[in-house]
């Protein structure tokens, strides 16, 4: 998982403790925000930077390679350039991840332009701050234009596609195929602040619906959106280019997401030599949410799980080769964290 | 439920038997199709009409007011005008329901125009056949223009909105608010041939997503769909008119659907005097799909069920005041069907 925690330092440390104890693999960040926020939910800039660094050090001190700290400016409207630049320096110092929201909806983008008239788009603001790194993950990106996408690609920055959130908050649909064709690394997320489900299965289904919605956009544009919508138009090949299948949705949730947070050398597929992160799925689980019939091929069964399955089908969860959850119960097997590799530790020390 | 059965008579009778036995309330139809269908899946016109009438008589002979037969031409491309007129005559004779698909996707609509160049739209073809009655329910209607909608309203015909199916097969999004403002009766359906879930909960969620997609259409049209999608545009009030909430989705699934099949005098709400069709929902069911916290109001709990709930939360199902399903088990309590009202029986006899 990649977590946006809260703004306060202490609860984020509890979050890290829980992740370590439950055996999750996660990129986790304490949210930073020092402007345009409610009076009772805002940081003073320098204190915020100190807390962000404290959080990074606390997380690294766990010596657990599964749990990676992340610099997390909430988004441009709530972070001053001073704060963003300070956060970028911390990210450089510890070689850690960066996450934020980018070009998410009309209101946000307009307000960013108002705050930063010197920059044409969110991507340029983040870039000035030094927050577009090859370990940066930006949520949404629904309103990114191609130049902005090319800048992200150049910096090695990825986007977390959160389809359900886009429907509720995002104003537009993210173009998975288009941006991936431009070289963008795309992972799949939920952003439950905007969506209604934290399940990656829901997100896969909604990524497919989002892509079909892009197709419908083009038909709506061609056919008009007035009272005369009888098909004077037809589906043309250019309308199909955004469509993705459930298999491509699954790719986004696995390899796509592993690439998006730069851990595709360790997880994301079952290649020999990678760490074993996996689900044990029982499509025939008693009281399960769908039926398997005699004629169902392995692929049919798999498609049913992706489209109709839920937590009942997930009988075991493995992280780094250990079973961390069996049925409804966390196994508690994961007592001793696997330490971080010496190489990255060395790199961190060298940077200090 | 409203069922589109298969084309063959015998299995549809088994379907009726099952519905009666399990205690469901249903409008059920044997599908009719006598042209443009696979060689091994087509009826001869007169035999098809005879089978359709046989099916209606068989269903009525159950003397079960919960189970209503339905004349079911699959859709215009697969039914000759002779067949459609014959089916309409049967519907009139028995005063029974009619269901079909209407103006569903570009390919279907274009092919209908090719087959019926004398009519501007599907609605006029069905109307010539006499199939637009006040007991007619048309699936989809995504490409209906306002004149066609007004014709449906005039005839008392309703539309079954199948949002997930529309995303996969329908080419366009159905405008719930717009069509209801024109006076259309709108119910909620699944059409699992085009969708991926038979759950009415999924359909409610997808109706909300469908409505948000209509909003995104307008933004896409205004903002363009080219490489420069940075928000040079803003959300305007006219973009919000199609948006519906989960509560309106629930209305479509209950009162909306009851009105759509003309049984809102009997079910669809908990008004005194209506028959008791209901779900007993346990939001705190052990092993359930979501958590309830201390601060959650009744409305919060309700919203969680609609957006995150599933069959685990539905602990009992009532139809006509009887518990027909408890947990995973059908109760089998419903042995004796409640007979049809003498008035409709009399009306049927009079029509013969």
| Chain B residues touching residue A223 (CB < 8 angstroms) | 172
Show residues of chain A in contact with B209, CB under 8 Å.
164, 167, 206, 209
Look at residue A277 in the predicted model and tell me its pLDDT: 97
Looking at the fold, whether B154 and B286 belong to one and the same domain comes out as no
Q: Same domain for A249 and A282?
A: no
Residue B228 lies inside a defined structural domain of this protein: yes
d(CA A96, CA A93): 8
Residue B256 and residue B282 in one domain? no
**Phi and psi at residue A110, in whole multiples of 5°?**
-60, -45
Quote the minimal CA–CA distance from A254 to chain B in Å.
Answer: 22
Residue A296 DSSP symbol: -
Instruction: Pick A216's closest partner by Cβ from B196, B217, B233.
Output: B217
How far is it, in rounded angstroms, from Cα A129 to Cα A84?
Answer: 6
Q: Give the Cα separation of B44 and B218 in Å (integer).
A: 46
Q: How far apart are CA A137 and CA A103, in angstroms?
A: 13
C-alpha A98: how far from its chain's center?
A: 11
Phi and psi at residue A251, to the nearest 5°:
-60, -45
The stretch A302-330 carries a mean pLDDT of: 95
DSSP state of A121: S
Instruction: Give pLDDT, residue B220.
Output: 79
Q: Pick from A51, A11, A54: which is nearest to A32 by CA?
A: A51
Residue B269 lies in a domain: no
Neighbours of B261 (CB within 10 A): 25
- What's the pLDDT at A62? 96
Is residue B112 in a domain?
Answer: yes
Show Cβ contacts of residue A345 under 8 Å, excluding neighbours closer than 6 positions: none
Contact B216 A217 (CB under 8 A): yes
Is the CB of A229 less than 8 angstroms away from the CB of B308? Answer: no
User: Does a structural domain hold residue A21?
Assistant: yes
Does residue A170 sit in the same domain as residue A52? yes
Pair B170, B306 in one domain: no
Residues of B in contact with A145 (CB under 8 A): 227-230
Give CA torsion, residues B247, B102, B144, A243, to 10 deg: 70
pLDDT at B228: 62
Tell whether B230 is covered by a domain: yes
Interchain contact, B106 vs A231, CB within 8 Å: yes
List of long-range contacts for B52-59, beta carbons under 8 Å, 24+ apart: B52/B86, B52/B87, B52/B90, B53/B90, B53/B93, B54/B9, B55/B9, B55/B12, B55/B13, B55/B29, B55/B30, B56/B90, B56/B94, B56/B96, B57/B94, B58/B13, B58/B16, B59/B16, B59/B28
pLDDT under 70: residue ranges of chain B:
223-233, 335-338, 341-352
Kind and range of the H or E run holding A188: strand A185-188
> Best of B76, B102, B103, B106 to disrupt the A interface by mutation (most A CBs within 10 Å)?
B106
Distance in angstroms (rounded) separating the CA atoms of residues B256 and B207:
13
Which of A28, A20, A23, A100 shows the shortest CA–CA distance to A62?
A20
CA neighbor of A207 nearest in space, from A312, A306, A300, A305: A306
Mean pLDDT of A309-327: 95
Measure B272 CA to nearest chain A CA, in Å: 34
Domain count along chain A: 2
- CA max distance for chain A: 67
Q: Which of A179, A204, A231 to mutate to test the interface with B (most CBs of B within 10 A)?
A: A231
Distance (Å, rounded) from C-alpha B49 to C-alpha B59? 15
Q: Is A121 within 8 Å of B307 when comparing Cβ atoms?
A: no
pLDDT band per the 50, 70, 90 thresholds, residue A351: low
Residues of A in contact with B233 (CB under 8 A): 106
pLDDT at A341: 66
Cβ atoms of B164 and B190 within 8 Å: the answer is yes
CB-based contact A100:A75 (threshold 8 Å): yes
Residues B256 and B283 in one domain: no
- Helix ranges (H only) for chain A are 9-22, 45-61, 81-94, 106-115, 122-129, 146-155, 163-165, 176-181, 200-223, 237-240, 246-251, 257-260, 298-308, 342-351
**Residue-range definition of the domain harbouring residue B282:** 278-319
B309: nearest CA partner in chain A: A197
Residues in chain A with CB shorter than 8 Å from the CB of B287 are 328
Does B231 contact A143 at a Cβ distance shorter than 8 Å? Answer: yes
ipTM entry: 0.91
The Cα–Cα gap between B341 and B171 comes to 42
Nearest CB to B217: which of A217, A230, A234?
A217
Q: Does B298 share its domain with B227?
A: no
Q: Which of A216, A219, A302, A326 to mutate to test the interface with B (most CBs of B within 10 A)?
A: A216
In degrees and rounded to multiples of 5, residue B197 shows phi and psi of -145, 140
Is residue B349 a part of any domain in this protein?
no
Residues whose CB is less than 8 angstroms from the CB of residue B295 and which lie 6 or more positions away in sequence, other chains included: none
CA A218 to chain centre: 27
The Cα–Cα gap between A328 and A314 comes to 9
pLDDT at A217 over 70: yes
Longest dimension (CA), chain B: 67
CA–CA dist B163, B343 (Å, integer):
36
DSSP string over B59-74 = HHHT--TTEEEEEEE-
**Burial group, residue A325, by CB count within 10 angstroms (0-12, 13-18, 19+):** buried
User: Are residues B233 and B301 located together in one domain of the fold?
Assistant: no
Query: Is B350 domain-assigned?
Result: no
Q: Are residues B283 and B159 in the same domain?
A: no
Are B221 and B309 found together in one domain? no
Same-domain pairing of A14 and A60: yes
Q: Tell which residue, B225, B145, B156, has the closest CA to residue B179.
A: B145
Query: Which CATH number goes with the domain that contains B202?
Result: 3.20.20.140
Q: What is the pLDDT at residue B167?
A: 92
Nearest CA in chain B to A141: B230
The DSSP bridge partners found for residue B97 are: B70
Are the C-beta atoms of residues A136 and A160 closer than 8 Å to each other? no
Instruction: Give the residue from B229, B260, B291 where a domain finishes.
Output: B260
| Mean pLDDT, chain A, whole residue set | 92
Buried-state track A78-102, b at ≥16 Cβ within 10 A, e below 16? bbbeebbebbbebbeebebbbbbbb
For residue B230, give the chain A residue with the closest CA: A143
Least confident of A96-105, A207-216, A311-320, B231-240: B231-240
Helices A45-61 and A9-22 meet at what angle, rounded to 10?
A: 20
Residue B225 CB contacts under 8 Å (≥ 6 apart), including other chains: A217, A218, A221
The pLDDT value given to residue B346 = 54
Please list every residue in chain A whose beta carbon sits closer than 8 Å to the beta carbon of residue B144: 229-230
Decide if pLDDT at A221 tops 80: no
Q: How many CA atoms lie within 13 A of A16 on its CB side?
A: 27
Whether residues A217 and B220 touch (CB distance < 8 A) is answered with yes
CA B251 to chain centre: 14
Report residue A234's pLDDT band, with 50, 70 and 90 as the boundaries: confident
Q: How far is CA B224 from CA B50, B172, B217, in A?
A: 53, 18, 10
Residues B256 and B284 in one domain: no
Mean pLDDT across A87-107: 96
CA distance B207 to A66: 39
CB distance A220–B219 less than 8 Å? no
Residue (of B91, B206, B137, B178) closest to A209 by Cα position: B206
Examine residue B31 and state whether it is found in any structural domain, yes or no. Answer: yes
CA distance A251 to chain B (A): 19
């Amino acid at each position: 998982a990649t977590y946006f925690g809260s703004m306060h330092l202490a609860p984020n440390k509890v979050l890290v403790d829980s992740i370590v104890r439950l055996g999750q693999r996660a990129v986790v960040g304490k949210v930073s925000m020092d402007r345009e926020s409610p009076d009772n939910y805002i940081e003073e800039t320098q204190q915020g930077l100190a807390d962000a660094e404290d959080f990074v050090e606390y997380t690294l001190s766990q010596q657990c390679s599964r749990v990676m700290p992340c610099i997390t400016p909430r988004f441009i409207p709530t972070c001053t350039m001073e704060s963003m630049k300070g956060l970028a320096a911390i990210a450089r110092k510890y070689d850690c991840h960066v996450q934020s929201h980018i070009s998410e909806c009309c209101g946000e983008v307009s307000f960013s332009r108002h705050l930063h008239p010197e920059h044409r788009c969110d991507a340029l603001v983040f870039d000035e701050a030094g927050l577009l790194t090859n370990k940066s993950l930006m949520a949404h990106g629904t309103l990114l234009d191609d130049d902005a996408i090319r800048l992200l690609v150049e910096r090695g920055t990825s986007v977390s596609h959160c389809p359900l959130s886009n429907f509720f908050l995002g104003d537009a649909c993210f173009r998975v195929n288009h941006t991936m064709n431009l070289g963008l690394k795309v992972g799949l997320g939920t952003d439950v602040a905007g969506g209604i489900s934290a399940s990656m299965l829901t997100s896969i289904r909604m990524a497919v619906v989002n892509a079909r919605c892009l197709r419908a956009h083009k038909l709506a544009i061609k056919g008009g959106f007035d009272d005369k919508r009888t098909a004077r138009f037809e589906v043309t090949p250019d309308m199909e280019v955004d469509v993705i299948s459930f298999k491509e949705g699954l790719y986004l949730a696995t390899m796509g997401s592993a690439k998006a947070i730069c851990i595709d050398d360790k997880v994301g597929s079952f290649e020999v030599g990678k760490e074993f992160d996996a689900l044990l799925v029982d499509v025939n689980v008693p009281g399960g949410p769908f039926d398997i019939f005699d004629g169902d091929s392995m692929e049919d069964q798999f498609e049913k799980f992706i489209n109709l399955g839920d937590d009942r089908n997930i009988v075991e969860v493995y992280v780094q080769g250990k079973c961390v959850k069996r049925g409804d119960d966390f196994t508690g097997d994961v007592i001793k964290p696997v330490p971080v590799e010496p190489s990255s530790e060395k790199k961190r020390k060298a940077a200090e």
